[in-house]
Chains A and B, each alone.
Chain A
């Protein structure tokens, strides 16, 4: 423990380490940090080490779930990521369905797919807004992305009754069928949204200034991405064509035709670009799901108790692959449930970056937001 200078800075508390080095605490009360802390060792310009400190919002969800029946567990699981609740919930519900040995009816699968893709768009819009904010595009793009989430939130309210955490998926299907007028409204919203993506591209993502700010920053090579276990759009931006929706299809993804967005650069720009491209893919998936929407029931009966056994269910959330490993002992509660969310994997990649390349203190916010971190997800 150094007893050197302690003072206030816009980055929080500073501690002098000698040799011109300082330890900065970015967070846990800081606009760029969220509910966590980045401990940065710097000489004022260059960053030599980043250490992640998470756990400020640890709720012990894995332990709590051991005390809840399968249906009761939906509520705590959903609270992991408020922006992306249905993708997160799909991981939990899918694992339970696998251990119970039931398959939802086809119409439920398609409705799930539509809701999950809307959620992915919402999640990516928010991520892009924060990235633009960190790259000094504030307030324009952040306000655009926030405002453009509204029509989708209204649609989800129409379908599920809530704008956030709708608990819409249950083991065996979805809670309700699509209401009248929903499909037309969704199609119109998608047409409008496609034009909005063009605006983002023109004004921001293909803008020379944004490219200069982010290109070549925070490069993660293909091999590093695999070794460190990166997830989601971040992994695909490093050139690994891995998408759980394609590699291990769940819901209706196996029956739909879509592409995997990859980029070879692996830098902050590629990660932002990948999210914009993925929104286009999501629009395409929703259109296909609407075109092929089958008729029939939306829910099957759920058996009260599973057989003893274990199951692993993987799902592609907005931030990347989440896997749920569930061990059942035949009771109506899980014996053990292990949730490995995407942010938990992405966060610890940020730690590795100063070890492989030059990172500047001024780049840290952009770097962090290019990974789309979410502390509630990582903390569980």
Chain B
């Protein structure tokens, strides 16, 4: 089943795939080119049936100068989880929003915009969610954001 699905995903997405792995029975990690992510998401939903978004976010890699974004979706009939990934440039992180494909990723993309500074093109509502409205101190989930200045005195002792 797992290998079969890998083949199907390869077939549907074609040459936009950079990497595809299936380390566990119902996990599928698919990395695509950043410019093709919206198209890939639409194909995954409409042709393969990955319909339910369960998470999205990003990981900062300052050494490689990229932010790796991920969207995690579940296939409600086949009970498979697919992790769609793409790399965006760290200096100018822009990517298409997938809200049009999976409405449920709206809040996750909003959170990623706020905490990692990734700009989602076509997102209907990019405004502060978790941080204070007047927050100007940077993007907390980036690796160059240091928590040390925020530690209280007693915190440093232990």
Contact = CB atoms under 8 A, between A and B. Distances in A.
Interface stretch (A60-68, A207-215, A250-258): A60-68
B147 to A, nearest CB: 6
Nearest to A53: B129
B97 interface: no
B79 A247 contact: yes
A325 B54 CA distance: 11
Interface in A317-337: 321, 323, 325, 327, 335-336
Contacts of A67: 147
Given A67-B147, A312-B27, A55 B130 contact: yes
B72 interface: yes
A312 B26 contact: no
Contacts of B103: 227-228
A323 B147 CA distance: 25
B106 A321 contact: no
A35 interface: no
B141 interface: yes
A64 B72 contact: no
B93 interface: no
B123 to A, nearest CB: 14
A55 B129 contact: yes
A312 B54 CA distance: 12
Nearest to A57: B130
Contacts, number: 79
Q: Interface residue tally of chain A, by bracket?
A: 20 to 34
Instruction: Give the secondary structure class of A's interface.
Output: mixed
A310 B54 CA distance: 17
B76 A229 contact: no
Given A229-B53, A340-B54, A344-B107, A325 B72 contact: yes
A325 B76 contact: no
Nearest to A235: B52
Given A67-B147, A340-B54, A379-B130, A227 B72 contact: no
A63 B54 contact: no
Nearest to B140: A63
A221 B41 CA distance: 23
Contact of B104 (A229, A248, A327, A335): A229
B119 interface: no
Interface string A210-247: 00000000000000001111010000000010100001
B79 A336 contact: no
A332 B127 CA distance: 35
A259 interface: no
A348 B59 contact: no
Contacts of B72: 312, 323, 325, 340
Listed residue (B57, B128, B145) with the most chain A CB atoms within 10 angstroms of its CB: B57
B59 A327 contact: yes
Interface string A350-370: 000000000000000000000
Contacts of B107: 344-345, 347-348
Contacts of A185: none
A312 B83 contact: yes
A245 B24 CA distance: 17
Given A54-B129, A55-B131, A228 B54 contact: no
Contacts of A380: 130
B122 to A, nearest CB: 17
A3 to B, nearest CB: 20
Contacts of A228: 103-104
Given A229-B54, A312-B81, A325 B70 contact: yes
A336 B53 CA distance: 20
9 closest cross-chain pairs (CB), A and B: A229-B104, A340-B55, A55-B130, A58-B130, A338-B57, A336-B59, A348-B107, A229-B53, A228-B104
Interface of B: 26-27, 29, 51-55, 57, 59-60, 70, 72, 76, 79, 81, 83, 102-108, 128-132, 140-141, 145, 147
Interface of A: 54-55, 58, 60, 62-64, 67, 226-229, 231, 240, 242, 247-248, 310, 312, 314, 321, 323, 325, 327, 335-336, 338, 340, 344-345, 347-348, 379-380
17 contacts: A54-B130, A62-B141, A63-B141, A64-B147, A240-B76, A248-B26, A321-B54, A325-B83, A336-B141, A338-B55, A338-B70, A340-B57, A340-B72, A345-B107, A347-B107, A348-B104, A348-B106
Given A325-B55, A347-B107, 18 more contacts: A55-B128, A55-B129, A60-B140, A226-B76, A227-B103, A228-B103, A228-B104, A229-B53, A242-B76, A312-B72, A314-B81, A321-B54, A325-B70, A325-B83, A336-B59, A338-B70, A340-B57, A340-B72
